[in-house]
Structure formats: C-alpha cells, structure tokens
Amino acid sequence: MKKQTIKEILQDYKKVLHHDITVYGWVRSFRANRFIALNDGSTINNLQIVVDFENFDKEIISKISTASSLKIVGEVVESQGAGQTVEIVAKKIIILGDNFTEELQNTILQPKKHSLEKLREQAHLRFRTNVFGAVFRIRHALSFAVHSFFNQNQFFYINTPVITGADAEGAGEMFGVTNFDLNAIPRTEEGEIDFAQDFFGKKTNLTVSGQLEGETAAMGLGRIYTFGPTFRAENSNTTRHLAEFWMIEPEVAFNNLEDNIDLAEDFLKYVIQYVLDHCKDDLEFLDKRLEEEQKTKPEKERAKEGLIEKLQNVIAKRFKRVSYTEAIEILLNSKENKKGKFQYPIEEWGTDLQSEHERYLVEKHFESPVVLFDYPKEIKAFYMKLNDDNKTVAAMDVLFPGIGEIIGGSEREARLDVLKQKMADMHVDEHELWWYLDTRKFGSVPHAGFGLGLERLVLFVTGMTNIRDVIPFPRTPKNAEF
Ligand code: ATP
Ligand code: MN
C-alpha cells in the first residue's frame, strides 16, 4: 500500500478508522511512557500514538525519546483524550535510526524554547521545529501559487542565466564568477586582469536580476516570468537583505505602468489568498505565536492586528496609489520630519526614500499597502521609461506594512534614441548590451515588469521578522555555513 502522510491520515481518518495502518515520523514528545506525539513534516499537527508498554520490549520503549525516528503499525481508534480526533494504538514499533542522546542535549531538538538566533546556528535541524515547519510549508505554498497565478494568466516560465555576461544590470553589487587560480591570475601587458583567458573568455558575474534577458523573451513570447536565484554582494546587514535570494520577475509586452501596477496588485492578492486557503493550520499556529510574542512587548509597540487578520485586510482593500511627488509632500509635512524623528530627514524633491519613510507612509499615514510611482529619473535604473515631464520615470514600488519595498518595477523605455541617451547619461556601456538594444530595433513595443523577492513575501505572510528565518540556508555577509 502507498505510504500515507500524517496529514492524510488526520484529514481522511474515517477511511482508516478501526483499521491497522503503518505510520512513519519523528517523536516530538513521549509522555508518561505512554503517549507519543509523532510528526512527519506533512502538517503541523502531530499524530498521537498510544503505547501500552506491557505489550512491548522494555528495551525498545527505553530507546524512544524526543527526535527518535519510528515506524509504527497500529489500529486507528477514536481518541479518548481531548486535542485530537483519532489516535493510533501501537501494535508494532520499529526504531528506524539511532538517537545519539548525549549529543542531542546540545541541539535545538531538545524540547524547550530556543531563540531564533540559536535555531539559525543549527539551520540543518530547524526543519524539525514547529515554527520552521510552518514557515517552509508556507514558502512552498507561495512558490506554487506564483506558478499557478502566472500559468492561469497565460505567462510562460523562462529560466534566465544565473551566470551573466552582462556587467550592467545596474541592480546592485555583483559577485564575480571565475575559475582562475586565484594565486596566479593572468594579466594583460597593461597589467589588467586578462579575462580573455578565463573560463568564459570574458568577465562574468552571478546575476542580480533576470530582467534584461526576460525582456528579450517577452518581445517574442508576450507574457513571461522568471523565478530563480539572485545574488547581490551589497554589504547590507539588515533584516530584509540576503546575498542570495529568489526573485520573481514578470515581463509583459504591451503593458504600460498602470497595467503593471494592476498586475502586481492582482498577483500579490492571489498568492496571499492562496496561502489563506491552503495553509490554515500553519497560519493559525504562527498567528498564536505572534500573539504570545506581542504580550511581551510594551503596549505602544504591539501590532494592531493579528497575522491572519493582517493578510485578510491586505486582500480586502485596494492598494493606495500615490506619486513620488505626492509622497514627498506628505513626508515633508509630516510631524516626524519636522521634529527630526527620521534618521534621514527629507529635505527636497529628488531624494531617495529610505525604508523608514516607506514604512511611515504605509503604517502611519495611509495604513494600507502603497504603490509609489513616477520617481525622479536620477534615482532609478536606466531602462525605465522617461515620462513627458523629462524629470520622472515610469517606475513603481509596492510598499507593504512591516516590510517596506516588496516589489520594484517599471514600464520600460521602448524608444531606442531615448534609451541610448539615458545609457550615456548613466554611464552604461552600449556595446556590452548590444543584444538588449536590439529589442528596441525590431518591432519595439511598450512593455513593463517588476521584481518581487520571494523572501520578503514569505516574511510578510508568516509574520517572521528576520529574512534569515524564511530561507532554509541564508547567505549574508560573513555567513555561508551549510
Ligand atoms: P532595497 O531598496 O530594499 O534594497 P532594491 O530596490 O535594491 O531593494 P530591486 O532591485 O528593486 O531591489 O529588486 C526587486 C525586489 O527584489 C525588491 O523589491 C525586493 O523584494 C527584492 N530584493 C532586492 N534586494 C534584495 C535582497 N538583497 N534580499 C532579498 N530581497 C531583495
Ligand atoms: Mn527597488
């Protein structure tokens, strides 16, 4: 018979009631030498196993402890106790793997409360905890929903290169890729590094964005999206930045800025609704966890709404759409700015917004997700469409409560001459991007797209506060363990 997960057993228990079944899992707890809480990762809920120890070899019973892996054959019965509908009365117990009890003492598998920092140090074991089980099941559901949304809307999934020969993506500092012997790097006569002798015959990097390649695909396939690993060598040690993260980048031919904002809003609402519909148990667990955590905070700092409520509210309302110019007005006139409460005071039109400003707009002023658009051209990338005012570009950022920027995108500059001028102004090498310029030569069309960092989305949906806790093995400055 096909193996059943604990999730299936608990969901369809009527089918197996009073039958003998086989279950597999890890012991979460073993109470009174009688009750095992068994978990196999398929759900946050444990399956209760009742052990009548008189029927079993004492040695087996003595070996069962937290973290033991077991195969159990037993009868499914209605539960006597509260807290579960069914339980298994064990008939046969097989210990699958040894438990090194002494070493277990030093791990996070010890059943007591561990800090998230401690759990991070043992990231290879944290999948066994309730919190990380919930986070990674939700991360999966979000990823699945991303594909599902785009597939339903006739987008094609395109894989853009991880190793890029384009040095000019302009989205951030890059990690170089080389197979030179670092102790003997070949030099040219002028003393420069001779990349002609490197593996690819040129300087290559890890991608910071698949957009430019994505645009070329959209110019033939119409609606495309990428969803892949993305790398940025910025030394920003924040709770919202990773050196390696997963970015989703749709690109759509014939879309303008407004279409792009509509797409971003529909997309975010779809994937959040998907998780509300499919991850109820995990969300409820995280909601309760957050509620407990709130109680330890001073009243002023507590969140106004619970996790699930927060997600429902984001879906219910239309996002506020505000131009950069309006946003600057609001910030300039804010009490916070006048009283010098911002770390970076807003002085004039043209300054880049920091996350404190974004969060002020979202959390204090509008109390709603906000889409800012039409940014000053100087603070945005070269490929964004120049507006008729000659001062702003058709950029858009989606700002979320607790996160700040979750999406950044734009309508692209489709006019070859304007694009070339912008590249020259911003010192982007035209020759390097010859293939990109080709897209503006043969049937150029208006098009638009955006980038969403999956981890920022998972942060928002799970209510976790550090981005290192929503990716299995985080890569950050000075940290690439595992
Ligand atoms: P920020 O201003 O927050 O550093 P950005 O403007 O540099 O972000 P974009 O180049 O616009 O980011 O990238 C698009 C999206 O990718 C962002 O909106 C964000 O969701 C995500 N993102 C960007 N950089 C990172 C990072 N270092 N770690 C995780 N996600 C990121
Ligand atoms: Mn951005």
pLDDT, tens only, 450-481: 999 999 999 999 999 999 999 999 999 999 99
The boundaries of every CATH 2.40.50.140 domain in the chain are: 6-106
**C-alpha–C-alpha distance, residues 215 and 166, integer Å:** 14
Q: Decide if pLDDT at 171 tops 70.
A: no
| pLDDT band (50, 70, 90) for residue 166 | confident
Segment 120-138, tens digit of pLDDT = 999 999 999 999 999 999 9
Closest Cα partner for 403 from 331, 311, 467, 449?
Answer: 467
pTM beyond 0.75: yes
Closest Cα partner for 458 from 447, 467, 448?
Answer: 467
Secondary structure (H, E, C), 334-370 = CHHHHCCCCCCCCCCCCCCCCHHHHHHHHHHHCCCCE
Closest C-alpha to ligand 1, atom 4: 241
| pLDDT band (50, 70, 90) for residue 301 | confident
Ligand nearest to the Cα of 454, by number? 1
Closest Cα partner for 373 from 323, 442, 328, 428?
Answer: 323
Answer whether 407 contacts ligand 1 (Cβ < 6 A): yes
Closest C-alpha to ligand 1, atom 7: 171
Edge-to-edge strands of the sheet including 176-177?
Answer: 163-164, 204-206, 176-177
CA distance to 78, 125, 176, 177, 201, per residue, from 128 (Å): 27, 6, 35, 35, 45
Give, for 82, the enclosing helix (H) or strand (E): none
Closest approach atom of ligand 1 to CA 404: 3
Half-sphere exposure of 182 (CA within 13 A, CB side): 3
The percentage of residues in the chain with a pLDDT greater than 90, rounded to a whole number, is: 91
Closest Cα partner for 209 from 167, 171, 156, 177?
Answer: 171
Half-sphere exposure of 435 (CA within 13 A, CB side): 10
CATH number belonging to domain 131-172+208-469: 3.30.930.10
What separation in Å is there between the alpha carbon of 33 and the centre of ligand 1?
51
Closest C-alpha to ligand 1, atom 6: 408
Mutate which of 456, 471, 475 to test ligand 1's pocket (most atoms within 8 Å of Cβ)? 456
Segment 42-101, tens digit of pLDDT = 999 999 999 998 889 999 999 999 999 999 999 999 998 887 899 999 999 999 998 998
Answer whether 358 contacts ligand 1 (Cβ < 6 A): no
> In the prediction, which pLDDT does 230 show?
96
Q: Do residues 409 and 452 make contact, with C-beta atoms less than 8 angstroms apart?
A: no
Q: Do residues 51 and 34 make contact, with C-beta atoms less than 8 angstroms apart?
A: yes
CA distance to 226, 332, 342, 364, per residue, from 338 (Å): 43, 7, 9, 15
> In the prediction, which pLDDT does 292 show?
94
What separation in Å is there between the alpha carbon of 407 and the centre of ligand 2?
7
What separation in Å is there between the alpha carbon of 286 and the centre of ligand 1?
25
Answer whether 419 contacts ligand 1 (Cβ < 6 A): no
Answer whether 233 contacts ligand 1 (Cβ < 6 A): no
CATH among 3.40.630.10, 3.40.50.2300, 3.40.50.300, 2.40.50.140 for 6-106: 2.40.50.140
> In the prediction, which pLDDT does 168 show?
60
Segment 360-378, tens digit of pLDDT = 999 999 999 999 999 999 9
**C-alpha–C-alpha distance, residues 2 and 213, integer Å:** 43
Closest approach atom of ligand 1 to CA 450: 14
Closest approach atom of ligand 1 to CA 208: 10
Q: Do residues 101 and 64 make contact, with C-beta atoms less than 8 angstroms apart?
A: no
What separation in Å is there between the alpha carbon of 398 and the centre of ligand 2?
9
**Separation of first and last alpha carbons in the chain:** 36
Answer whether 474 contacts ligand 1 (Cβ < 6 A): no
Closest approach atom of ligand 1 to CA 236: 27
What separation in Å is there between the alpha carbon of 240 and the centre of ligand 1?
9
* Single-letter code of the amino acid located at 342: F
Closest Cα partner for 63 from 101, 36, 108, 90?
Answer: 101
Q: Do residues 205 and 163 make contact, with C-beta atoms less than 8 angstroms apart?
A: yes
